[in-house]
Amino acid sequence: MATTLARGIRPLDAYSGESPFEEEYLPDSDGKPMAETDRHRKVMISLLYALAERYHDQARVYVSGNIFVYYLDEAGVRQSVSPDILVVFGVEKKDRRIYKVDEEGKGPDIVIELTSSSTKVEDLVAKHYIYANMGVREYFLFDPYGETKHPMLRGFRLEGGEYVPMVGTTRLSSEVLGLELRVEQGELRLYDIETGERLRTPEEAEAERRAEKAARLAAEEKAAQEKAKAAQAKAQAAQAEAKAAQELAARQAAEADLARLREELAALRGKQP
């Protein structure tokens, strides 16, 4: 199957001795603004966030999306494709302008495309072929609007150089990621297969951060109130102690006065004839 040259990319023989592999000759954009629905964008952001968080501490896992992936076709001509979501294991985690398969040494391990009625042919035919030849081990398609007259979620696993459909319509397991992809209320959610834990969306993470902040502030306020109460109790105890000391001093003074008076009285009685 023939593939189409990416916009702005010239054939190798058009460079007149210049190296076509220099990054400055490879555009990172086709010059057109991205056009996608709110739901597609929300799903894409949620998936990117969840996957980036999952592999945050792993230096050799690269998570990205909507980036130009450059590869060489069967004729040795530079081509590009732009997956919605991609994960690559065994390459450096760093910011990239573009991703070059020949330079990185491998293609993505997993790709997720958010498909629609306008992109289903490209996603099911052209990209299906490209990703298989690139060695993408798992390829998932998710249709947020259910427009393609197919299950909203479909998955393919590379076996012997060909994609084999995964069995399932609302739940599919990714052996590469160790995650289960689930369709829930029209959204695509990711679950850790071992723990059953659902990976958070940015909204859920923010809500959790706000809840933790509110709990922390409430705990700090409670601690401050308890500290104030303790200080007040200490002050009251000090006041009571001071009052008791005053009363003791007054009683001792009164007793001393009484003793003196008794002594004076005894002395007067002793002087009487």
pLDDT in tens, 135-155: 999 999 999 888 776 789 999
The pLDDT value given to residue 28: 66
Whether residue 20 has pLDDT greater than 50: no
Q: Which residue has the higher pLDDT, 194 or 233?
A: 194
Residue 253: Cβ within 10 Å count: 10
> What percent of the chain has pLDDT above 90?
45
Whether residue 21 has pLDDT greater than 50: no
Q: Which residue has the higher pLDDT, 1 or 125?
A: 125
**Most confident listed range (18-27, 37-46, 116-125, 218-227):** 37-46
Q: What is the pLDDT of residues 231-247, one digit of tens each?
A: 888 888 888 888 888 88
Domain extents in the chain: 12-200, 201-273
Q: Which residue has the higher pLDDT, 186 or 27?
A: 186
Contact 172, 152 (CB under 8 A): no
Residue 8: Cβ within 10 Å count: 12
Whether residue 60 has pLDDT greater than 50: yes
* Confidence grade of residue 27 (pLDDT, cut at 50, 70, 90): low
Model-wide pTM > 0.85: no
Whether residue 134 has pLDDT greater than 70: yes
Contact 83, 69 (CB under 8 A): yes
| 82 Cβ contact partners less than 8 Å away, ≥ 6 residues apart | 66, 67, 68, 69
Q: What is the pLDDT of residues 162-179, one digit of tens each?
A: 999 999 888 999 999 999
* Overall residue count recorded for the chain in this entry: 273
SS3 state at 32: coil
Q: Which residue has the higher pLDDT, 10 or 39?
A: 39
12-200, CATH topology level: tt1808, chain A (3.90.1570)
